[in-house]
Chains A and B, each alone.
Chain A
């Protein structure tokens, strides 16, 4: 197959876009720790209430300016809801679902993770800007899906 010179240039550029994408994504993931939420722990989805740490969902301070939120998602709510944290805190979310598939998304941040029954999902975010952040479920979970929301208030 003989190719036109321009076609060769074009295809080299095409391969370049793909390689560049790989390099940037790989660097961010493995050097800067910005990879997507990928926790691999599992849990019995029918025994969430009896299993630590989900037997006591809540906001826990674990260091200076560092918090862990242990959260269960269930139709159609987040537990705990209406979270308050001081500005400048780093928050680690540890989440699982008690029933169907849910999504955890905080508008205006990069917090976005699937929360599946049987799996424990973890994601971290540093909240610098004070304000009220909208937390919503972004995976269809039933007739009340559009009501499944809460807020994080950063003071």
Chain B
């Protein structure tokens, strides 16, 4: 353990002396640029949607609501998050492992190129109106085959970046035998393991859709496609979440002047999320035909078990806050709370993200119970849920990371002015999301559906009763676009305009008296085997059933 500590401080010193590796910085900043451009475009499209849905705006005939919705989903849930995750973790690996090895840096660029090709295909087909199928692209609604080909390129990019992470980590382990990989890199391994295994099912799905969309095969198995999609869809959600959690565990303690809660516990949370995650996607299919009630009941457990590591995280976070606050002289039951650096946006943004995750996680636990799910399935409640989880917990943490990651990489200062602007941004974003997510949750409980443009359903009284909430949703969307523009400005200012200087890459240290982390936490082979076992438990029965007892398939439809 002592050796690790010495080694660790050596890497730290080397980093401080040499600064950030410029070639690695360029890679990460390129990824982050794309991420925040995607946020800007996706955000504008989100505003258009919010206004249309509230009946305040009529979209022109050449820009259909569902086209906008498809692009909003793809840009924000695929492009913004994927490019941010890769850029952030490549920086994390470069920082904690003494630079990327040249081969891996090259893989990072190849991955970037593949993703760009994919995005061009996907965005072009959407803009041409050939792929208004939403980001879930459920068959038998069929997009242009080039839309699916674009998706394949994006997946190949993700796999290449994952391979890069694994290569770099294996190389580090070879050179640092008997040592723990640094905690942030441990998170990276977890995230990219999930990305790789989680995307296998959807890749198979997309490969069956391409010949079908070209007309080379006649029909497709609709339920199988949908099930494979969700084995990926929900894993992806938890990949962003795990990425956000990595900053909560690693960076936030340092920012507030505290120490890690427990290195071991953080690693346990990572591998538990990796093992338990993939079958969680099944809870998107609770009111589907083709699965028995017994199977659906088993999946209640599979989904809820993902909540357990998150509850471990909740405790750890507040424990870190309390310890740091007390160390700064906070007295009494809650005195420590006032000692937290709320005026530092690097803390404020992820702090609000964590607070938002309390109702977001509780809502998630509630809605994954079968009968409760039936009440809210495909209503705006669900949209409200993921604007709280992804839109608030994940996005605000990503912003919180950007405040130090971008200037660190660009060798610039994070100025007090940017900090003030960041605080205002965080508040506007939070208020905007309160309006949007609050309105969506409420009106969803009344039955207002998601994924639909403005409709009174023939002036139906029930539907008209939803309108006031939709106005609140539009108000939220308007506030959010202001916050998006501010955030994009902050990121590019920090990248190109801020004064030259140093910004710290915050890495929390363990407590002085912390017990050493046991070596068994490094057994990735075992975690992957356990993960595959859990995936098999969740998916072998329904997949075999869907293939063996499949009805005749469906031909493609273009219904827009």
Contacts and interface: CB of A to CB of B under 8 A. Distances in A.
A17 interface: yes
Nearest to B380: A138
A60 interface: no
B297 interface: yes
Interface in A1-36: 1-2, 4, 6-7, 10-11, 14-15, 17-18, 21-22, 24-26, 28-30, 34-36
Contact of A42 (B300, B371, B377, B551): B551
B223 A116 contact: yes
B461 interface: yes
Nearest to A17: B365
B300 A22 contact: yes
Contact of A113 (B287, B311, B371, B549): B287
B48 to A, nearest CB: 16
Given A11-B315, A140-B452, A141-B559, A21 B378 contact: no
Contact of B462 (A30, A107, A116, A144): A107
Contacts of B559: 75, 99-100, 141-144
Given A11-B315, A105-B449, A116-B223, A29 B287 contact: no
A12 B551 CA distance: 45
A115 B455 CA distance: 21
Contacts, number: 221
B308 A18 contact: yes
B99 to A, nearest CB: 32
Interface stretch (B133-141, B144-152, B169-177, B343-351): B133-141
A118 B463 contact: no
B268 A35 contact: no
A78 B555 CA distance: 21
Contact of B379 (A22, A100, A138): A138
B560 A142 contact: yes
Given A17-B365, A107-B446, A43 B551 contact: yes
Interface in A89-143: 99-101, 103, 105-108, 110, 112-121, 132-134, 136-143
B537 interface: no
Interface centre among A25, A30, A132 (most CB of B within 10 A): A25
A7 B365 CA distance: 20
Given A36-B373, A101-B141, A116 B222 contact: yes
A35 B375 contact: no
Contact of A136 (B64, B290, B449): B449
Contact of A117 (B140, B312, B448): B140
A115 B451 CA distance: 16
Nearest to B265: A1
A24 B518 CA distance: 38
B256 to A, nearest CB: 19
Contact of B370 (A18, A25, A142): A25
B141 A142 contact: yes
A23 B380 CA distance: 27
A108 B463 CA distance: 11
A134 B292 contact: no
Nearest to A144: B559
A24 B301 CA distance: 12
A21 B264 CA distance: 29
B211 to A, nearest CB: 19
A134 B457 contact: yes
A44 interface: yes
Contacts of B69: 140
A14 B140 contact: no
B374 interface: yes
A112 B262 contact: no
A103 to B, nearest CB: 5
Contacts of A65: none
B15 interface: no
Given A25-B369, A39-B289, A45 B315 contact: no
A-B pairs, 7 with minimum CB distance: A142-B559, A107-B447, A42-B551, A118-B551, A146-B455, A14-B311, A138-B449
Given A35-B296, A136-B457, A145-B452, 11 more contacts: A18-B301, A18-B307, A22-B304, A36-B286, A37-B374, A105-B378, A107-B462, A112-B287, A112-B378, A114-B288, A145-B66
Interface of B: 64, 66, 69, 132, 134, 138, 140-141, 222-223, 226, 262, 264-265, 268, 285-293, 296-297, 300-301, 304-305, 307-308, 311-312, 315, 319, 365, 369-371, 373-375, 377-379, 446-455, 457-458, 460-463, 515, 518, 549-555, 557, 559-560
Interface of A: 1-2, 4, 6-7, 10-11, 14-15, 17-18, 21-22, 24-26, 28-30, 34-40, 42-46, 75, 99-101, 103, 105-108, 110, 112-121, 132-134, 136-147, 149, 151
30 contacts: A1-B518, A10-B311, A11-B308, A14-B312, A21-B369, A22-B301, A26-B300, A29-B293, A35-B371, A36-B286, A36-B374, A99-B140, A100-B141, A105-B379, A105-B447, A112-B377, A113-B289, A116-B222, A116-B289, A116-B290, A117-B554, A119-B289, A119-B551, A121-B289, A134-B457, A134-B462, A138-B377, A138-B451, A139-B138, A149-B457
